[in-house]
Structure 1
Amino acid sequence: MTNRLLATLLTLILTTGLSACDNHHLSGPAGKQDQQVPLDFLPALKGDYFRLDSNTVGRSYHIYVRYPGGYRDNPEQQYPVIYLLDGDSMFPILAANHLFLHYDDKIPEAIVVGIAYGAFDPAINMRDIDFSTPAKDRERSGGVALFHQFLERELLPAVESRYRADPQRRILYGQSRGGFMVLYSAFNHPDLFWGRIAGNPSFLPDMEQFFATPAPSTRDDLVLAISSGSADRFQARGERARQWYDYWKEKGDAPWEIHFNTIEGGTHAADSPATYRFGLRQLFSDEIETARRAAERASSASTQH
């Protein structure tokens, strides 16, 4: 009886101790159960976060920021800023991948900003409203103008006041409905972003607006890159994208330099890194070539010694 009692007590002590250790690990030094593990422990995503309550849209957004490599060590340097729509999913994928694009492709480091809703639940995630013009056949739509005002009047000033952002080299990335938002921005506010990247963009509702005359532009260095996946389950989107590209290529008077790419075997969403890579290669082609030549000279010099 005594041995059984001792065994039971020992089991309880061990169980309680392990549980306490586990709770301490999850809650952090302060012992708070709601303590969150910061992204600082993921170096490819090291940066910042802030919540932005929009007076324009009347909703809140979660803003995630990835610092460029060496950001702290170069206090005088300004960086391009890449704004990712659908930051809930795109930020952890593309912001981390930027590290390898810098290593392998010589794409310059950049500040990467994810604009997130905080959930995929439609009660919280309003992308169908934010990334569309009004449509009678859709339950929710028509908030793109207000969302763009949020970008211009609230988010961009907040980012550029907090971080060493180069306002002349802003880049906007969007996928699917986010691609619609990118096209809307290009046509209605061409000068706001230097570069725009749209992956498998939706052209509906109101595709005709993207064949109309864009708003006047004062810049001559604007770039718009679009990609479509050949295996996109929405085949009509690829056909519309090619039709749109052919129209503006023949017309020849767009305010942006347009680049188009078909990702062979690419699907609707899984190839977003390929779209991101394609777009940045077009935008930074000069810097990439300069970096490659410098690397070749350095390699040649090292082999001669």
Structure 2
Amino acid sequence: MKLAILLFFTLYSVNALASNVFDELPASINSNARYVFYSHGFIVEGDNPTPQHPTWGTYDFPAILETLSELDAIIIAEHRAKNTDPFEHAKKLQHQVEHLIDKGVPATNISLVGFSRGGFITAIASSYIANNNINYLILAACTSSLATQSDVILQGNIFSIYETSDTVGSCEKVVQRSGDKVTSFEEISISTGLEHGAFYRPIKAWVEPLNNWLEQKSEKVAYSIPRSELVELQEPISKRIYPLYIKLPRSYRSNKSQRYPVIYLTDAPYTFPIVSGATRFPMNSGTMEEAIIVGISYSKGSKGVSSRVRDFTPSKANDWKLKTGGAKAHLRFIRKTLIPFVESNYRAAPEHRTYVGNSLGGLFGAYVLFTAPETFSGYVLGSPSVWFNDNELLAMNVQKPKNETKVYLSVGSLETPKFGEQQNMVRGARLLAEKINAVDSSHLILNFKTIEGASHAIAFPTTAIHGLDWIHANTNPH
């Protein structure tokens, strides 16, 4: 297996149509997620995702998928081949749904949405699947092909939306012939005057009630960060497995030719949600470069404190009960396994990597800066544990970077014994700043800040956003 990688995609796929939109069921299933299948109309079958109808205009399949991608769900939307047999495709949907259920996804968290021919396929799938708890949304399909197929019996929770100016109308008769197989039935009509074309584009009239109905029918699931996924990598020598939290930029799907900077975070369970949330607005508004965010978590099977103490410390400290001194091995894992994985599976810019670490993670970042500075082009070092092993970091030899390397170093003004800290982090940070400034290199640029009123427990969020803004400020905002 390449680079001894174990991949477990819990939310989204690299090769997806969008960050949470797939054309096939993902290889790995998250039993806590919601799954929505969308089946398009007949006109889209073939190679063109935006075909033109002489009366109803463009069927904007990509725009519909973009809108569905905003749901807190995994979207499965295959672009069917020309003249696909609806019954055969319904069988395919049946097998995919049954696979989800076998993997532990609650039936109430599975929904099939179909428009026109796609609605016909959705209804057939309902008949095949025969599960009363699955949700089916039929858009403008019931009084066409479906009406004449008396052997197609709807089962499950049914929601119908039709347009009053369209020739395709209510699902009431189809539901009546299905009898008690239908668990629940709701129907609304919309009046846009757009006839069948009302569903060609994601307009509020049908999208909003669809979203509301899905929300009502689905079980509540834990909140997940949009456009994010979980991947697990195995360190080849120790065989330890490290979960990675990966978030893709908002424009990742639409800008297929663009390569993005990558922000690498240590202590991912703590740092990933902070950095993801703090950078959302500046990245989306264009004041900060959009970037891929990769959070490196602790090795599986070990406590977080044990993993980070082992991996972030440069040497063995005899007075520590926990294992120390694994920084060299962890750096090798990052350089030889993790970064190559990211840069071969995502559109990452190799020349623009940023490291973010706090406390022991700041110590590890300084160690990387001194021993292998070319690993990253930017470093955000928050409240680094310079004190570790009698300040040995300050005695280390420093390799001069060959390319421009920006270092943002900060510490809270209250990180001293006077304010309850065991170590004088302020003094350590200042000494580290002096050591960096003493490096005879025009390529090394330091920005050192003290965060007024901040203790060790609360300094990092400020460090992270200020440091990333300094390194990734967009000089050409749109």
Is TM-score (shorter-chain normalized) higher than 0.5? yes
> Structure 1: which amino acid aligns with 2:318?
K
Query: What are the Cα deviations for residues 13-54 of structure 1, in whole angstroms up to 9, with x where unaligned?
Result: xxxxxxxxxxxx9686744685499xx996853132211111
C-alpha distance in 2, partners of 1:26/1:276?
30
Of structures 1 and 2, the one scoring higher in RCO (CA 8 A, sep 6+) is: 1
Aligned position for 2:368: 185
Query: What are the Cα deviations for residues 115-162 of structure 1, in whole angstroms up to 9, with x where unaligned?
Result: 112779628851100000211111210100000000000000001111
Q: 1:90 aligns with which of 229, 252, 271?
A: 271
C-alpha distance in 2, partners of 1:248/1:192?
17
Name which one, 1 or 2, has greater alpha-carbon Rg: 2
Provide TM-score, normalisation by structure 1. 0.77
Aligned position for 1:274: 462
Gaps of 5+ in 1: 1-24, 295-305
> Structure 2: which amino acid aligns with 1:85?
T
Tell me, what secondary structure is at the counterpart of 2:450?
strand
Aligned length: 262
Aligned position for 1:99: 280
Aligned position for 2:449: 261
Higher mean displacement: 40-49 or 160-169: 40-49
Aligned position for 2:319: 137
| The structure with more helix, counted as a fraction of residues | 1
Aligned position for 2:342: 159
Tell me, what secondary structure is at the counterpart of 2:428?
helix
Q: 1:85 to 1:123 in 2, by over 3 A?
A: closer
Higher mean displacement: 205-214 or 149-158: 205-214
Aligned position for 2:406: 223
Provide TM-score, normalisation by structure 2. 0.50
Contact persistence 1:88–1:119 (CA under 8 A):
no
Pairs within 5 Å for 1:1-305? 30-31=100-101, 34-35=104-105, 44-103=225-284, 106-117=287-298, 122=303, 125-132=306-313, 133-139=315-321, 140-203=323-386, 204-219=388-403, 221-232=404-415, 233-234=420-421, 236-249=424-437, 251=438, 253-254=440-441, 256-285=444-473, 287-288=474-475, 290-291=476-477
Q: 1:108 to 1:190 in 2, by over 3 A?
A: same
Contact persistence 2:243–2:300 (CA under 8 A):
no
C-alpha distance in 2, partners of 1:33/1:108?
38
> Structure 2: which amino acid aligns with 1:54?
E
Tell me, what secondary structure is at the counterpart of 1:126?
helix
Identity of aligned residues (%): 29
C-alpha distance in 2, partners of 1:72/1:134?
45
Query: What are the Cα deviations for residues 93-131 of structure 1, in whole angstroms up to 9, with x where unaligned?
Result: 212321123256811110000111277962885110000
Contact persistence 1:26–1:33 (CA under 8 A):
no
C-alpha distance in 1, partners of 2:237/2:307?
14
Contact persistence 2:240–2:300 (CA under 8 A):
no
- The offset of 1:246, in angstroms, is 3.2
Contact persistence 2:32–2:222 (CA under 8 A):
no
C-alpha distance in 2, partners of 1:123/1:186?
24
How big is the alpha-carbon RMSD for the aligned residues of Structure 1 and Structure 2? 2.9
Tell me, what secondary structure is at the counterpart of 1:226?
strand
Tell me, what secondary structure is at the counterpart of 2:424?
helix
Tell me, what secondary structure is at the counterpart of 1:68?
coil
Contact persistence 1:175–1:200 (CA under 8 A):
yes
C-alpha distance in 1, partners of 2:376/2:341?
16
Aligned position for 1:11: none
Q: 1:168 to 1:123 in 2, by over 3 A?
A: closer
Contact persistence 2:241–2:299 (CA under 8 A):
no
- The offset of 1:58, in angstroms, is 2.8
C-alpha distance in 1, partners of 2:278/2:285?
11
C-alpha distance in 2, partners of 1:104/1:227?
26
Gaps of 5+ in 2: 1-30, 35-96, 110-220
C-alpha distance in 1, partners of 2:300/2:396?
35
Q: 1:119 to 1:91 in 2, by over 3 A?
A: farther
C-alpha distance in 2, partners of 1:123/1:246?
31
Contact persistence 1:27–1:34 (CA under 8 A):
no
